[in-house]
Amino acid sequence: MKEIWTEKYRPLTLDEVVGQTEIVDRLKAYVASNELPHLLFAGPAGTGKTTCGICLARAFFGEGWSGNFHEQNASDERGIDVVRGKIKDFARTSPLGDYAFKIIFLDEADALTSEAQAALRRTMERFSRCRFIFSVNFSSKIIEPLQSRCAVFRFKPLRSEEVKKYVERVAKNEGIEITSEGMKALTYIARGDLRKATNLLQVGAAKEGKLTEETLYKLSSYPDPKLVRALIEQALEGNFIRARNLLDQLLIDYGLSGEGVIDQIHGAIFNLSLSDDALVEALSGIGEVAFRIIEGSNPRIQLDALLAKFTQIGKKVRGKNEGMHGRNF
């Protein structure tokens, strides 16, 4: 994108990392002290973990940072051989220039096998002039002996206003027009993932005209939350066939998987005016269906069963609230 690569290919700095102020402050303190422990970056995708690792290396090593920085995607090579080979070969060499250490950045380290992680314990102890940064989505998949050797940094999903501010800056520099409703849709789809927001904006930039809410939902193959809400409401009101037709739209028009539909329903159910008892029963049904789909059951049959469950819940609540008006289930 033009925003990043203009100004004579000026590299990003820690100050430009979006939405992780506390983490950036801690990393800058390491740079100021010229000391760095082993680090564990944990958090969802698109929140700045890899960016922080690269910016940290640039802050320590300057223009020659790439000679003292090795990035390894652990999901590509996840066995013990990569630890004994590439990682150990890089760790055993001395840093280039007058530096106290070099850095190995293991992206998606939670994909490493337990044997590979165990082998890393000895490597971290033996080669003291090498610092490891583990980037993971789930820190629980890293064995405890490795976690205990690291300073843990937990990255949080970016807030909608932070994503909006960044997207507005990029859109302005790229000359992309986006409506206010389109911006709301983009931040909703991104859900704190700045990489997803940027990619969607770039895809939208290839189309002519303004980026609208409808355009962004179509480009992302992401269902409009109004459609998911309508599906649940129709089922609760007893309109099972209408709800099933809306389910067809999610599965066919948007191409969602059974798990994808469950995820959308789970996110939308909390925005309805359900009583605590009805919400608990609905969530119990969602959890049961999600488990069955994961275990291999037919997704369509299970989703139909979930709509039937919602229909029963709505009938039960309407019986209790007979004579009340509105849709307050």
Distance CA(326)–CA(159), nearest Å, equals 33
Q: State the fold for domain 225-315.
A: Zinc Finger, Delta Prime; domain 3 (1.20.272)
Distance CA 34, CA 244 (A): 61
Specify the domain boundaries for CATH 1.10.8.60 within the chain: 160-220
The reported pLDDT for the residue numbered 78 is 59
Start-end ranges of CATH 1.20.272.10 in the chain?
Answer: 225-315
- Beta bridge partner(s), residue 178: 211
Distance CA 202, CA 171 (A): 9
111 contact partners, CB below 8 Å, separation of at least 6 = 74, 75, 78
According to CATH, the topology of domain 2-154 is Rossmann fold (3.40.50)
121: exposed, middle or buried (C-beta count within 10 Å: 0-12, 13-18, 19+)? middle
Which regions of the chain carry the CATH code 3.40.50.300? 2-154
Nearest-angstrom CA–CA distance, 102 and 90 = 9
How far is the CA of 160 from the CAs of 19, 153, 185, in angstroms?
10, 21, 11
According to the model, what pLDDT value does residue 82 have?
Answer: 65
Q: What is the pLDDT along the chain (329 residues), one digit of tens a residue?
A: 334 434 444 677 888 888 899 999 999 999 999 899 999 999 998 899 999 999 999 999 888 888 889 888 866 665 566 667 677 888 888 888 888 899 999 888 888 888 888 888 888 888 888 899 999 999 888 999 899 999 999 999 999 899 999 999 888 888 888 889 989 999 988 888 999 998 888 888 887 678 888 888 888 878 888 899 999 999 999 999 999 999 998 888 888 889 989 999 998 999 888 889 999 999 999 999 999 999 999 999 999 999 999 999 999 888 776 655 555 54
Please tell me the distance from the alpha carbon of residue 82 to that of residue 270, in angstroms, as a whole number: 45
CATH: 1.10.8.60, 3.40.50.150, 1.10.287.90, 1.10.3720.10. Which one for 160-220? 1.10.8.60
